[in-house]
Structure 1
Amino acid sequence: MILIFFDKAKIFVKGGDGGNGCIAMRREKYVPEGGPWGGDGGRGGNVVFRADEGLRTLVDFRYKRHYKAERGRHGEGKNMHGASGEDLVVRLPAGTLIRDADTGELLADLVAHDQEAVVARGGRGGRGNAHFATANRKAPKLAEKGAPGEERWLELELKLLADVGLIGFPNAGKSTLISKVSAAKPKIANYHFTTITPNLGVVRVEEGRSFVMADIPGLIEGAHAGAGLGHEFLRHVERTRLLVHVLDVSGSEGRDPVEDFLATNRELILYNPVIGAKPQVIVANKIDLPGAAENLRRVKEAYGEEYEVFPVSAVTGSGLEPLVYRVAALLAGLPPETPVLLEDAGPVVHQAEPRFTVFRQEGIFYVKGKEIERHVAMTDMDNEEAVERLQWIIKRMGIEDDLKAAGIKEGDTVKIGNFEFEYAE
């Protein structure tokens, strides 16, 4: 079986619509004027995202892109209220960023197992006719329809949650290393870019002590600017707490390990200085090959005072045990990683929106506003009393005055939400 790694997805979510309110009258034998007795509709279910540390890819969202919660039940007679719709709980990998596809606003960053976020709220249930009784209208024959649930397109972006990130140029031996110290089974071959998707492995140090290591595909110069698959790879380094920098000290690819170290770190810093400042250890790999001893000396001379250098042979397993124990010890002294959000300079500030706006476009007068659009959506246009109430609301909110100020005339078309009607004095 081939597991395809997907770390981005775009999906549509919709909260459940609210149930309709009920129109009913009491019909008891000894109550001649029983009055209204219609119950309320139930609230629609929410769409809830829940982080699951057992999931590692967004591949499921490639095949199913629409998610809708259950609507609320309708109200019934005898003042019986409808049941609320069930929430739709959608599991996705821990480490997933959720953004509104239209505005780009960050809605949630789910980093912990079972952490939840409501991404589309269900609509409230419509009120039954029992709510509309007044001294002058003792037997109202109107009720509200359920409010529609929220709907939106979302962009999901997965950034792997790992304690340790393996970085380095292609073919430095990262995949071999993670296959030796964990149960991960990455594809390994002697050519560049064998690894084109991140691999995760759990490294068990001793009973009850382990850490998660991510084999990040090899970086190339220009990765910070998106060269190759730079951005696709670099995002997975952001959440790691410690970087293990793998160098090919044998020079088998004709590269200089001293220069490789500088080049890789340069890409990290240019992409995000916070990542470039993460603690690192150097793994001098392929120590068993000719020419490695001289390059190891040069690496220690250049970086040995600032970084710990571990000579290893990932193929033979030589030097891996001290490396694993030292990495575990370093992690014990590092705080849990907080998410790094590159695009967000600060908290989102929502400016107060007007209650409604009126404008004319191509001969049609549009009225926009959440409140009035909700009233229209919850009005039964086939019910005369309900329509009269909506007209009263439009006038009370001042919408009619604004339409007149905008130049509306008898017979012009007005559109509110999905409803169009002809204006009449």
Structure 2
Amino acid sequence: MVFLTRIVLCIAERKAPRKFRRGFIDSLRLHVRGGAGGNGLPRYGGIGGKGGDIYVEAKEGDLNVDGKRVLVARGGAGGCPSTQFLGLRGQSHSIILDLKLIADIGLVGFPNAGKSTLLKAISHAQPKIASYPFTTIKPNIGVLEYPDYRQITMADLPGLIEGAHANIGLGHSFMKHVERTKLLLFVVDIEGFQLSPKHKHRSCVETVLLLNKEVELYREDLLDKPAVLAVNKMDVTGAQQRWQEIRDTLKHLKDAVNDFSEELRPSRTLEFWDIFCISAKNDPSSVLKLRCELRHILDIVAEQSKDDKELQLLHQINSKIAQKGPDVV
């Protein structure tokens, strides 16, 4: 026993394999197997003990409920007359644990739209920033801190591209991290986007429509979340003129969507709470305005959510009263 214990300790002290030292893992595949049931004793009719179950238990951190347990593999039944007093094997299968980040705001946009630059300018995050696509290959979290100590979290996700639903580029694998956000902040380049010379150049409005479409193809109910649009890089030459040309289209996207080709059109268009023109890199005042408005919108969303919950509770109470019928005197 002492010898075996030493072996275990030596193994524990070894460094983890390189594939597990990547810094950020949001999906983990595990093979689990419940314990085998114990054999019974036919001579005396004794029934064997049940094999051990395997549970996954939540710990304090980025999780729903601390201490919540989920059964992932049942132990085998103990030996009994129907099994010739032989214990049964436990369940054996593979499970996938997915981490979904919790943030108040999720940044959605094409590569090089300036999401990471905005996150750095608006919070204390230090994401990697460069002038080539897919700089961000894993989610980054920034914290917006206000003078009254209010804190708002913002998640920067890898860039979507046209065809992400078909696994082009980085696909949709990271989109799960916006499922638990309260607000979606779409960031687009005023000059549009072109992944490479082999790909079509998409205008600013076309990128908005394509982002809308990709989010819809991932999960349509994400379009029910409050959304804000930030048109970035307004410091480039000719940006103001381009904005004047597309302003009305972006503000009335639902009415203008039929003017675009079918490959660009989503089935359901987003309705933005507000649209902001910013330069995340060179105009701190525009970022400050966006920062203040994001807080204001989140406060409105929180208040509406509270009212909806109270209304839902009231309907439940009235429904129970109706089911009981009038009091008999």
TM-score normalised to structure 1 length: 0.51
1:282 aligns with: 229
Give distance in 1, aligned partners of 2:156 and 2:276.
Answer: 18
Counterpart check, 1:119 vs 2:72: yes
Q: Is the 8 A contact 2:48 2:87 kept in 1?
A: yes
Corresponding residue to 1:51 among 27, 50, 58: 58
2:248 aligns with: 301
2:324 aligns with: none
2:140 aligns with: 199
Distance 1:266 1:148, change over 3 A: closer
Q: Is the 8 A contact 2:193 2:204 kept in 1?
A: no
Q: Is the 8 A contact 1:179 1:185 kept in 2?
A: yes
1:423 aligns with: none
Counterpart check, 1:313 vs 2:313: no
> C-alpha displacement at 1:323, in angstroms?
1.9
> C-alpha displacement at 1:267, in angstroms?
2.1
Counterpart check, 1:172 vs 2:138: no
SS at match of 2:94: strand
SS at match of 1:119: strand
Gaps (5+ residues) in structure 1?
25-35, 56-93, 95-110, 132-142, 337-425
> C-alpha displacement at 1:221, in angstroms?
1.2
Distance 1:115 1:177, change over 3 A: farther
Q: Is the 8 A contact 2:160 2:171 kept in 1?
A: yes
Q: Indicate the percent of aligned positions where both proteins have the same amino acid.
A: 43
Q: Is the 8 A contact 2:37 2:48 kept in 1?
A: yes
**Larger strand percent:** 1
Corresponding residue to 2:290 among 318, 323, 327: 323
Task: Give, as a single letter, the amino acid of the residue that structure 1 aligns with 2:295.
Answer: A
Task: Give, as a single letter, the amino acid of the residue that structure 2 aligns with 1:323.
Answer: L
Counterpart check, 1:265 vs 2:212: yes
Q: Is the 8 A contact 1:251 1:292 kept in 2?
A: no
Distance 1:310 1:3, change over 3 A: farther
Aligned residues: 256
> C-alpha displacement at 1:213, in angstroms?
1.9
Give distance in 2, aligned partners of 1:322 and 1:217.
Answer: 25
SS at match of 1:152: strand
> C-alpha displacement at 1:22, in angstroms?
7.1
- Aligned 1:229-378 pairs, distance under 5 A: 229-249=170-190, 256-304=203-251, 307=272, 308-316=274-282, 317-332=284-299, 333-334=301-302, 335=305
> C-alpha displacement at 1:43, in angstroms?
4.5
Task: Give, as a single letter, the amino acid of the residue that structure 2 aligns with 1:116.
Answer: R
- Aligned 1:78-227 pairs, distance under 5 A: 94=63, 111-123=64-76, 144=85, 146-205=87-146, 209-227=150-168
User: Could you report, residue by residue, the CA deviation over 1:43-98 in whole angstroms, capped at 9, with x for unpaired residues?
Assistant: 5432211334636xxxxxxxxxxxxxxxxxxxxxxxxxxxxxxxxxxxxxx4xxxx
> C-alpha displacement at 1:151, in angstroms?
2.0
**Larger helix percent:** 2
Give distance in 2, aligned partners of 1:124 and 1:161.
Answer: 39
- Aligned 1:8-19 pairs, distance under 5 A: 8-19=27-38
SS at match of 2:58: strand
Q: Is the 8 A contact 2:42 2:85 kept in 1?
A: no
User: Could you report, residue by residue, the CA deviation over 1:205-236 in whole angstroms, capped at 9, with x for unpaired residues?
Assistant: 45563333221211111122322222223343
Give distance in 1, aligned partners of 2:49 and 2:152.
Answer: 46
User: Could you report, residue by residue, the CA deviation over 1:276-327 in whole angstroms, capped at 9, with x for unpaired residues?
Assistant: 3432111122233322222333443222465312232222433223322322
Larger Rg: 1
Give distance in 2, aligned partners of 1:53 and 1:296.
Answer: 46
Distance 1:265 1:251, change over 3 A: closer
Q: Is the 8 A contact 2:192 2:207 kept in 1?
A: no
User: Could you report, residue by residue, the CA deviation over 1:107-164 in whole angstroms, capped at 9, with x for unpaired residues?
Assistant: xxxx44443211012345568xxx9xxxxxxxxxxx9565533222223344433332
Q: Is the 8 A contact 1:257 1:295 kept in 2?
A: no
Give distance in 2, aligned partners of 1:120 and 1:252.
Answer: 48
Gaps (5+ residues) in structure 2?
1-17, 195-200, 253-270, 307-329
Query: What root-mean-square deviation, in Å, do the aligned CA atoms of Structure 1 and Structure 2 show?
Result: 3.5
Distance 1:263 1:51, change over 3 A: same
User: Could you report, residue by residue, the CA deviation over 1:383-412 in whole angstroms, capped at 9, with x for unpaired residues?
Assistant: xxxxxxxxxxxxxxxxxxxxxxxxxxxxxx
SS at match of 2:112: coil
